[in-house]
Amino acid sequence: MKKLSAALITIILLAATVAAQGSEVNKVIEKLDRLYRSSSSRGRMKMAIVNPHWERTLVMDFWSAGMEKMLIVVQEPEKEKGTATLKIKNEMWNYMPNINKVIKIPPSMMMANWMGSDFTNDDIVRESSFLTDYSYSEIQPPDAERGLMYLELLPKEGVVTIWKKLVMIVDRETYLPVEQRYVDEKDRVMKKALYSKVKVMDGKEIPTQMTMIPLSEEKKGHRTAVEYFEIDFDVDLSEDIFTLRNLRKRR
């Protein structure tokens, strides 16, 4: 009986531990899902693009409505001012002020670089929810560091993505992201996003810089850093902002 009781207690404690770990993982995923999202937002950001051949920096204003609509307009440098991108659901248009023309991005161009950066058109258009689009669990990879939590996210059936899985690395105390790894069908990490410069903006603590680094040999030395200067959440925005008419407006 004593042996049976000890075994039963061990099983109960093990189940309680697993449940507690699962609850913590859920909290982390919920926080990641809400981190940059709100009913609406507007702000200003800087995008610094670096590769072995050239460097350029863009300053852009942006507006968003939920996960489905976004407008991004270049303000600097002067020669590119007015260049704009409009996203509505899974569709995307670019406005080129030098030719005063709106160009719709076809599906065949979704993996092309956006504005010459290491972000693709698909990165800009796609807005997945970790909670609803992925199954997730905590893992312990060989390179795990103390104080960090490693989460494996597998796309659910029916979710369209080129990645076999994502690996999210978060600070165990704050649940803020530190790194995101993009893994292909051959289990190769093809690119990673590094999160840094944590600040409080409009009452929300967020990493204000994300650096995308491709890891393929042909992209060696490439990186793109996006940094938020200003951001306001849950603001009143006119629906007219997210229209082709507004995109075509000469600025």
Six-digit token pair at 168?
A: 């999210």
CA distances from 5 to 1, 10, 198 (A): 6, 9, 49
Beta bridge partner(s), residue 114? none
Q: What is the pLDDT of residues 127-144, one digit of tens each?
A: 778 888 999 999 999 888
* Average pLDDT score over residue span 33-61: 92
Residue 206 in contact with residue 190, Cβ under 8 Å?
no
**Residue in the block written with tokens 């649940």:** 175
Q: What is the pLDDT of residues 158-207, one digit of tens each?
A: 888 889 999 999 999 999 999 999 999 999 999 999 999 999 999 999 99
Least Cα distance to 98 among 84, 110, 109 occurs for 84
Is the model more confident about 59 or about 106? 59
Least Cα distance to 247 among 114, 101, 126 occurs for 101
